[in-house]
Amino acid sequence: MRRDLQGYLYLALAMITVGSTVIASRIIAGGTPPFTATALRFAVAFPFFLLVTRWTRTRLPRLGWHDWLILVIQAGAGSVGYTALLISGLKYTTAVDAGVIIGTLPIVAAVLSIMVLGERPDRSITAAIALSAIGVLAVAFSPDAGGGSLLGNSLILGAVICESLFILLNKRLRTPIPALMQSTLMTGIGFLVAAVSAVFEAGAWGVVSIPSLTAVVYYALVPTVGGFVLWYAGSERVSGVEASLFTAVAPVSAVLMAFVVLGEALSVYQMLGVACVLIAVASQALSRRKQAGLVPASIGEDN
């Protein structure tokens, strides 16, 4: 198989695993408290990341206090905040709605870059932001959303904002950190942060169920570790612009799995939302091509 076709396959599989986190989180939400589930996710994933870093001989560069502070904030927001809010939101909304909203991650990250870093958007980015907003509004306020709620959708959007903060903070690191090592640090620090928060959920531990625990283990091993490996195997074989286009696979896979696996209804408004988000992600990727050309792909942290 051609090298680029291999890359496309790996990237598609990686984004399918990301989409499956919505299904896993929906199952987790019905049987495990959010911070407890988050701590368990990282507890399971961390040893595997350590093994991979040892196998690849990836080393941690010397970091100053500034970078360590950034890493702790990243772990709290992008790792713990994202997972806990996603699980919490799926108690109140459908996996279909969540899948559409999570697909807006590249656009929300662009909005934060404009607001916080003062970056100036071109017309294509502005159009992408508008389309993405239409997509989210379509699922948030649709009259036949099939069980979704404004509270649940708001929590999912909060999860997306947390992950976008991770991307934004990554630009503030003074010392470059290998992606594998950064993901290892995120799981380790994330476990400590989530474990402290999980202590306050002790009264809800009695409702933990076997299906939810199984979903936590799946989340840790397949999307977190497996998704990371697949993404980087793919990104080594294609350009950055090509890789960014595959992020659109995540919301589509989440919506389809919610429909097939969970049996959730799929409304016209939700299909409209998916379409708007897909067009927005594609237009943003094309804008990146004009601004930076074809460059190696990279991601800061897995979902």
State yes or no: pLDDT of 281 exceeds 90: no
Q: What are residue 296's DSSP bridge partners?
A: 239
291 band by pLDDT with thresholds 50, 70 and 90: low
Cβ-based neighbour number of residue 182 at 10 Å: 20
Q: Return the residue matching tokens 């402290």.
A: 196
DSSP string, 42-100: HHHHHHHHHHHHHHHT--PPP--HHHHHHHHHHIIIIIIIHHHHHHHHTTTS-HHHHHH
Once rounded to an integer, what is the mean pLDDT over residues 249-278?
82
* Separation CA 46–CA 228 (nearest Å): 13
| pLDDT attached to residue 144 | 54
* Cα gap 148→101, rounded to integer Å: 12
pLDDT for the residue numbered 293: 47
Q: Tally helices (H) and strands (E) across the chain.
A: 14, 0
* 8 Å CB contact between 297 and 247: no
Q: Which of 24-28, 84-88, 254-258 has the lowest mean pLDDT?
A: 254-258
User: Quick one: pLDDT band at residue 74, thresholds 50, 70, 90?
Assistant: very high
pLDDT greater at residue 49 or residue 280: 49
pLDDT reading at 223 higher than 80: yes
Q: Which two tokens stand for residue 216?
A: 């936590």
Of 212 and 279, the one with more pLDDT: 212
Among 47-51, 226-230, 264-268, name the most confident range.
47-51
Q: In whole angstroms, how far apart are CA 133 and each of 93, 124, 154, 271? A: 18, 14, 13, 14
Instruction: Please tell me the distance from the alpha carbon of residue 43 to that of residue 79, in angstroms, as a whole number.
Output: 13
Q: Is the pLDDT of residue 300 over 50?
A: no
Over residues 218-232, mean pLDDT: 92
* Mean pLDDT rounded to a whole number for the chain: 82
pLDDT confidence bin for 296, thresholds 50/70/90 = very low
> What is the pLDDT, as a whole number, of residue 164?
87
Quick one: pLDDT at residue 132?
A: 73
Confidence check: pLDDT of 145 > 80:
no
Query: Strand, coil or helix: what is 177?
Result: coil
Q: Which pLDDT score is estimated for 150?
A: 79
For position 209, what pLDDT does the model report?
A: 81
pTM: 0.84
Query: Cα–Cα distance between 219 and 25 in angstroms, integer?
Result: 8
